[in-house]
C-alpha cells in the first residue's frame, strides 16, 4: 500500500526509527545491538526500545561510541525474538530516519533472516532533507541539534537519537511548510535482499 503524502504541518502515521550496531558494514557481519522506535498516530505516541543480543562480541571501538557493552547485551533478546513485533510496529507507517539506507538495510536483513514477510517500507530521510533544503554547516544529527540549540541528553543511543530526530524533524517540517512545501512524498525502500535458503 502506497502511503499518502505527508503533510509538513501535521506529520501523522509516522515512526521515528534508529538503531545501534556492532559495526558499519552488513557485508562484514555487523548486527543490530539496539533498536528504538517512536510511533505518532492521531496525536498518540507509542514507543519501542530494546537492546538486542547480536550473538557476537561488541568491538571496543563501537562500544566507545555508543556505550553498549557485552555485559549489557548478554541477557537481552536476540533479534529473532522481536522480529515479528518490529515488523508489526512499522507496518503501514512512514519511517523517518537520519541516513535511512543504513538503518533500513539492517532492519530488512534481520527481518528476512528470520523468515518474516517484510512490510513494505516507505521512508522520509531527514539527512536528505537537511542537505536539499537547508544549509547547516554539518548534517550530522548531533551537529544539527547543536546548531538548533536542541538539548541532547545522550548521543549514539537509539532512543535518545530518536527523540533528537523528532525535535529536529519538527524544525525541518515547520520550515518547509513556511517555504510553501506543504507535503513530502515518502520514498520506497527497495529491499534487494532475498530470503536465506534452508
Question: What average pLDDT does this structure show over 29-41?
Answer: 97
198 vs 36: which has the higher pLDDT: 36
76-87: pLDDT as tens digits: 999 999 999 999
Inside any domain, residue 197? no
**In a domain? residue 196:** no
DSSP string for 20-67 = EES-S-TTTT--EEEEEEEEEETTEEEEEEEE---SSPPPHHHHHHH-
Average pLDDT over residues 165-178: 97
Q: Give the count of beta carbons closer than 10 Å to the beta carbon of residue 105.
A: 15
Catalytic residue, chosen from 156, 162, 168, 189, is 156
Q: What's the whole-number mean pLDDT along residues 162-180?
A: 97
Q: In the predicted model, what is the mean pLDDT of the chain?
A: 93
pLDDT attached to residue 197: 43
Q: Is residue 198 part of a domain?
A: no
Query: What does the alpha-carbon distance between residue 155 and residue 67 come to, in Å, rounded to a whole number?
Result: 10
Whole domain around residue 139: which residue ranges?
A: 12-188
- The maximal CA–CA distance of the chain, rounded, in angstroms, is 53
Q: Does residue 48 form part of some domain?
A: yes
Predicted confidence at residue 152, as pLDDT, reads 85
| 184 within domain boundaries | yes
Taking Cα atoms as reference points, which of 86, 71, 93 lies closest to residue 116?
A: 86
SS3 192: coil
* Residue labelled with grid coordinates 517512536: 38
What's the rounded Cα separation, in Å, for the pair 39 and 122? Answer: 14
> Which CATH number does the domain housing residue 78 bear?
3.30.420.10
- H or E element, residue 187: strand 187-188
Residue 145 lies in a domain: yes
Domain count, the chain: 1
Answer yes or no: is 93 within a domain: yes
Confidence at 148, pLDDT banded by 50, 70, 90: very high
Taking residue 137's Cβ as centre, other Cβ atoms within 10 Å add up to: 8
Give the model's pLDDT for residue 194. Answer: 52
Count of CB atoms situated within 10 Å of the CB of 46: 11
Contacts of 86 (CB under 8 A, 6+ apart): 35, 37, 48, 79, 107, 110, 111
- Verify whether residue 156 is a known catalytic residue: yes
Residue 5 belongs to some domain of the structure: no
Q: What is the mean pLDDT of residues 156-181?
A: 96
Least confident piece of the model among 23-27, 39-43, 171-175? 23-27
The H helix count followed by the E strand count for the chain is 7, 8
Amino acid at each position: 500500500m502506497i502511503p499518502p503524502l505527508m503533510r509538513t504541518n501535521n506529520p501523522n502515521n509516522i515512526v521515528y526509527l534508529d538503531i545501534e550496531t556492532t559495526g558499519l558494514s552488513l557485508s562484514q557481519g555487523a548486527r543490530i545491538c539496539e533498536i528504538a522506535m517512536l510511533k505518532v498516530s492521531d496525536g498518540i505516541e507509542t514507543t519501542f526500545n530494546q537492546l538486542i543480543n547480536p550473538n557476537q562480541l561488541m568491538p571496543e571501538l563501537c562500544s566507545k561510541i555508543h556505550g553498549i557493552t557485552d555485559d549489557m547485551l548478554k541477557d537481552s533478546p536476540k533479534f529473532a525474538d522481536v522480529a515479528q513485533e518490529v515488523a508489526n510496529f512499522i507496518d503501514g507507517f512512514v519511517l523517518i530516519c537520519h541516513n535511512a539506507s543504513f538503518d533500513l538495510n539492517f532492519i530488512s536483513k534481520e527481518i528476512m533472516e528470520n523468515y518474516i514477510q517484510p512490510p513494505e517500507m516507505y521512508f522520509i530521510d531527514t539527512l536528505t532533507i537537511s542537505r536539499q533544503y537547508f544549509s547547516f554547516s554539518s548534517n550530522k544529527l548531533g551537529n544539527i541539534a547543536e546548531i538548533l540549540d536542541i538539548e541532547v541528553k545522550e548521543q549514539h543511543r537509539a532512543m535518545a537519537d530518536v527523540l533528537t530526530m523528532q525535535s529536529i524533524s519538527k524544525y525541518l517540517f515547520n520550515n518547509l511548510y513556511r517555504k510553501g512545501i506543504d507535503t513530502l512524498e515518502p520514498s520506497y525502500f527497495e529491499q534487494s535482499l532475498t530470503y536465506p535458503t534452508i
